[in-house]
Structure 1
Amino acid sequence: MAGIVNETSASVETGSHGISLSEAVRVWARIAALSFGGPAGQIAMMHRILVDEKRWVGEHRFLHALNYCMLLPGPEAHQLAIYIGWLMHRTLGGLIAGALFMLPGFLSILALSYVYAAFGNVTLVAGLFFGLKAAVLAVVMQAVFRIGSRALKNRAMLAIAGLAFVAIFFFRVPFPLIIAAAALTGFLAGRSGSSLFTLGGGHKAGAGAVLADKDSLLGEETPPHARPNLAWSLKTSGGLAFVWLLPVAVLLIGLGPDNVFSKIAVFFSQMAVVTFGGAYAVLAYVAQEAVQNFGWLKPGEMLDGLGMAETTPGPLIMVVQFVGFMGAYREPGTLDPMLAATLAAMLTTWVTFLPSFIWIFLGAPFIETLRGNPALTGAMSSITAAVVGVILNLAIWLALHVLFREVDDHVFGPLVVEVPRLLSVDLASLTLTVLAVVALFRLKLSVVATLAICASGGIAWTLLTSAAAA
């Protein structure tokens, strides 16, 4: 761990790119505060600030880092922040970027969890969530257009995105299988020399991507600290693995495996290493275990927690913090329920997110050396295209469940189609969603302003309907 804490030299404070660590901290704090809308919105926000606005990194490098993070278990947007923070300011930069990215979401969900546990689903809170869900839908739609316009440069990429959407939306194919199939397709195509599977989508687009990298402050060259060093990678990741698992071992030995804190530590540590495919790939499993096996949540409460995570900054998988909070709140032992819940929220966040730092510090230096490899580039380009199709699936799924009160599954052999009951349309949600779409796409308002408008509308509508019912 000494290698982590000793990186405070001038080379860390300001690299050859000329960006000081203090300036980077301010930008990472800004990104964290604006990281609404789940991974799609967060990645789009990072791209807008780091690539388009600040020009710290180029398009090719950004997509290369993103595609590597998509292959890892855990929240890809969080890992992308760690990766770029490390690339610019070494290990300390990665630690700061990753910690700041989580902090606003952790504090927001902790505050909402206090309100939820103390007061339940009160009118104001219900109205807040009602309005924010409509805004989140519009943010995800915007992310589909932003990422799709950059990744789907030719018919091959469009075909992969379309097949990914059909596979997950109609046939419920697991996300990891879709990613594996896309990666294999792109790997073989890139190895064969096809220019359609470059990150830019062809020779012309590829040249533009390289030019963008040259024009970025980081440039095309790999910084000295980002070159492969197996001893450093093993030392750093091993130290982080030790501090990750130390609380788990202490709880198991000190409190026994049946204690709620031990169960939380073990369950979410296991989940952290198998969460391939993002939050939605594992939330159903977490909800089932939390409700049926552990009894930490009541039926339906997982949706309330998901609403908190959807409408607060930070990774969507932060919803597990709410699960741990409620688990210890209901099984506090000799502790005060709120104190037990707070400690459990901190424990859940620790064991869930620390592995992300390990994956980046262990593998990123070796991935950096492969940026020009045609086969790897093809695989990563295909993964990006497939993810566009998956995000489109998310946008449609959210639209069905936000805009309609009743949605039915129609099964035709292996084909499963979700069809809304048109008469169950929620006109208030539809109105707020249209308002959010106009704000983002037409008026070009910020995500924060759009969220604020919809939240205010949701609260006003809920108060009016409550007064009318009374």
Structure 2
Amino acid sequence: MTSDKTRAGDVIPLREATRAWFAISLQTFGGPAGQIAVMQHKLVDEKRWIGQQRFLHALNYCMLLPGPEAQQLAIYVGWLLNGTLGGLVAGVLFVLPGVVALLALSALYVGAGSTAFVTGLFAGLAPAVIAIVVQAVQRVGKRALHHPVLVAMSVASFVALTVFKVPFPLVVLAAGVIGWLVGQRIPAFVQSRGHGGAADGPEPLISDDALHHDAPSTVRGLKVLALGLVLWFTPVAVAAAVFSRDSVFVDQGLFFSGAAVVTFGGAYAVLSYVAHQAVNVFGWLKAGEMVRGLALAETTPGPLIMVVQFVAFVGAYRSPGSLDPWVAAVIASLLVTWVTFVPCFLFIFLGAPYVERLRNNLHLTAALTGITAAVVGVIANLAVFFALHNLFERSRTLAWGPVDLDLPVLSSWDPVAFALTAVAVALVFGAKWSTLRTLGVCAVLGLASTLVT
């Protein structure tokens, strides 16, 4: 097992690990649950490089963090197996296929978005995404809302976002504080956050003691933090110097850097916030286009938060400044991808040595339990947002005191969109079809409906 190592400190040969991570990267469809399942099968069951308990231990830490937990889990396990270089290889390969695929699909959308073919395609994809987001509400809610207080927090977060337009970061912050307070008084409020499954699993070939580890220290932490922040924000600073502070690149770089640190609960949780800011504040794209970007992200491997790449591409294409629109779109797309995923590496490399201490911190677990409950309401708000802007052609705003509620104009309902949404709901909840299969059927139906009409 160790005779062909190429670097000192590797638990397994880096080349062999790289091949495994590349194979995993091509199978990361279906959201974080599916992505974690792929890693579980490949690394725990098949390769037996890491034990079930250690795998779940790493997962629990990643679920404490903002950002895509599946990618962070890949970085963490890569770090355990091959140190910092292993973490970099695992994390980069995990997102690389999705970045390339979504860049191509974003270009196709911008270049051919007005054709009958692409219009018909999205006519079917958008309703399917509504059904998929509703399914996410059901799945997360079933796992997270195990106490009446959590149900109440979920409903409150939905009302705060939908009716009163409370900013998403404030909802997350309030949920964390309430969760921490309630957790001190109601022990049953805090429950294990594992994904389930056997706690033992197959016997690993490598002992826990042999896995990579760094002794936690203030000096090491400050070095990692400083390097991570420099890498994170240097491209944004360069964009400001080259294109001016008012350019779309700086706006997008700063906004998505902020979004990267409030994405508790996965991509669905933050997308309502991103959609509102991108559409209503910055004007990078139209309301209906957000769901189209999500549909594209659903069809590509990698974390769903990759949809921000589509938002950046479209926004920069339409506001390129002095650059060619295509050049601006590619630069913005890559810049936003960078500021979205670099924090994932920083969080893992900075926090991994302290993971045992964090995992056993009941106060932090209680706060995260509250945030997870709020996330259910946040995802429900996203479903309402998508339904409003894709099932109806027009909407109106009800403003009365603190109330700021968007309502549909019922006469503008789209019968085809309603019918396709019903089909998607039947496939997802009735037939239990996978996300990719449902998207494919609805895309064909949408294309057919456009050609017929």
TM-score by length of 1: 0.76
**Any gaps of 5 or more consecutive residues in structure 2?**
46-50, 264-269
- Aligned pair partner of 1:457 in 442, 445, 449: 445
SS at match of 2:358: coil
Q: Which residue of the partner structure matches residue 321 of structure 1?
A: 312
Alignment pair present for 1:432 and 2:420: yes
* Alpha-carbon distance, 1:133 to partner: 0.8
Cα pair 1:290 1:323 within 8 Å, conserved: no
Q: Deviations over 1:369-426 (max 9, x none)?
A: 2212221111111111111121122123222322222333333432344433434332
**C-alpha separation in 1, matches of 2:104 and 2:293:** 10
Q: Which of residues 153, 157, 160 is equivalent to 1:164?
A: 157
- Cα distance in 1 between the residues matched to 2:116 and 2:125: 14
SS at match of 1:68: coil
Matched position secondary structure for 1:409: strand
2:77–2:87: 8 Å Cα contact kept in structure 1?
A: yes
| Separation of aligned partners in 1, 2:70 and 2:198 | 22
| Alpha-carbon distance between aligned partners in 2 of 1:372 and 1:321, rounded to the nearest angstrom | 39
2-structure distance, mates of 1:129, 1:158:
34
Q: Which moved more, 1:312-321 or 1:159-168?
A: 312-321
After TM superposition, give the deviation of residue 116 of structure 1 in Å.
4.2
Task: Give 1:347-426 correspondences, 5 Å limit.
Answer: 347-426=335-414
Matched, 1:331 2:339: no
Question: How many residues align structurally?
Answer: 425
Structure 1 residue aligned with 2:273, among 267, 271, 281?
281
Contact kept? 2:315, 2:329, Cα under 8 Å: yes
Equivalent residue number for residue 30 of structure 1:
27
Q: Is the counterpart of residue 308 in structure 1 residue 293 in structure 2?
A: yes
Q: 1:464 to 1:311 in 2, by over 3 A?
A: same
Secondary structure of 1:69's partner?
A: coil
Match of 2:190 in 1: 197
SS in 1 for 2:407: strand
Q: What is the alpha-carbon distance in structure 2 between the residues aligned to residue 151 and residue 429 of structure 1?
A: 31
- List per-residue Cα deviations over 1:218-277 (Å, max 9, x = no partner): 899796527634444443443343344444455555x4637x9xx344333322432235
> Contact 2:11–2:212 (CA<8 Å) still a contact in 1?
no
Contact preservation (8 Å) 1:60, 1:199: no
Deviations along 1:398-457, one digit per CA (max 9) or x if unpaired, are 223222223333334323444334343322112222222222222222211111111111
1:457 partner SS: helix
Q: Hey, what does 1:39 align to over in structure 2? A: none
Equivalent residues in 2 for 1:85-96, closer than 5 Å: 85-86=78-79, 90-96=83-89
Q: Does 1:126 align with 2:119?
A: yes
Q: Is the 8 A contact 2:309 2:336 kept in 1?
A: no
Please give the per-residue CA displacement for 1:114-133, whole angstroms capped at 9, x wherever unaligned. 33444452111111111111
1:43 aligns with 2:28: no
- Code of the residue aligned with 1:284 in structure 2: it is H
Q: 1:330 to 1:422 in 2, by over 3 A?
A: same
Determine if contact 2:272/2:385 at 8 Å carries over to the other structure: no
Structure 2 contact 129–294 (Cα < 8 Å) conserved: no
Give 5+ residue unaligned stretches, structure 1. Answer: 1-5, 36-41, 201-205, 292-296, 466-470
2: CA distance, partners of 1:186 / 1:192: 10
